[in-house]
Every structure is written in structure tokens, then in C-alpha cells.
Amino acid sequence: LKELKSRHSGNTLRLANQLEELTGLEARVTILGHLQRGGAPSAADRLLATRLGTACADFIDQGLYGVMVAARGEGVEPVPIEEVVGRRKTVPLDHPWVKSARLIGANLGD
């Protein structure tokens, strides 16, 4: 992982290839800004993805597995998968987030 710390694009693909070589498992690259937000990522999306991705790599480097990465306030923390699997967090249809998402054309599945 330390070799990947640079300012050049393509690190994600190189990391995926290294993971495949080391584990023999398929590794897929996902752009978090596209997946989580819908549409082209904004600067805030890119910063969030960078924070989450960096934290994920740090957790792996520390030998911390079986967790998801959560952004809470200004911090990032690991949350055990057991605490979130099978739970659903919903947002009311009249919530400002839903209105904002609709204004920017995000697909909400309806």
C-alpha cells in the first residue's frame, strides 16, 4: 500500500491488480462518488471518497477487518459489519435530502 501513495491517477487499478495477484480473487474498482451519490461526482464527493478510501487502507494496514468505514462529522471510524448487516436506515420522502436529490436529478428508484 505504501507504494501506491502518490498523486497520480490509476492507483485504484494498480491496487486492484495487486489484490488479485496476492489473493487469487477478483477485485473490482468502484467509484464511490458515482455509486453513493448518483451522477457525476462533485468536489465534496471526491473528498469523501478519498477520506473513506484512505481510512479503509489504514484499517487494512492495521489488520482491522470485518468493518465498514463510516464518516461521522469530521472523523472516520470503523463500524463492525455485524452492527449494520440486515438493518435499514430510511429517509422520509419529505426530508430535505430527498428534495435536494430530486433537484439535481439523482435516481431514487421511483
pTM, two decimals, is 0.51
Domain residues of the chain, as ranges?
A: 1-30, 42-103
Tens digits of per-residue pLDDT, 28-62? 887 666 666 666 777 888 888 899 999 999 999 99
Nearest Cα neighbor of 65 from 82, 45, 90 is 82
Q: Distance (Å, rounded) from C-alpha 56 to C-alpha 69? A: 6
Q: For the chain, how many residues are written? A: 110
Q: What are phi and psi of 68, to 5 degrees?
A: -105, 160
Q: Which residue has the higher pLDDT, 36 or 64?
A: 64
Centroid of chain to Cα 15 = 15
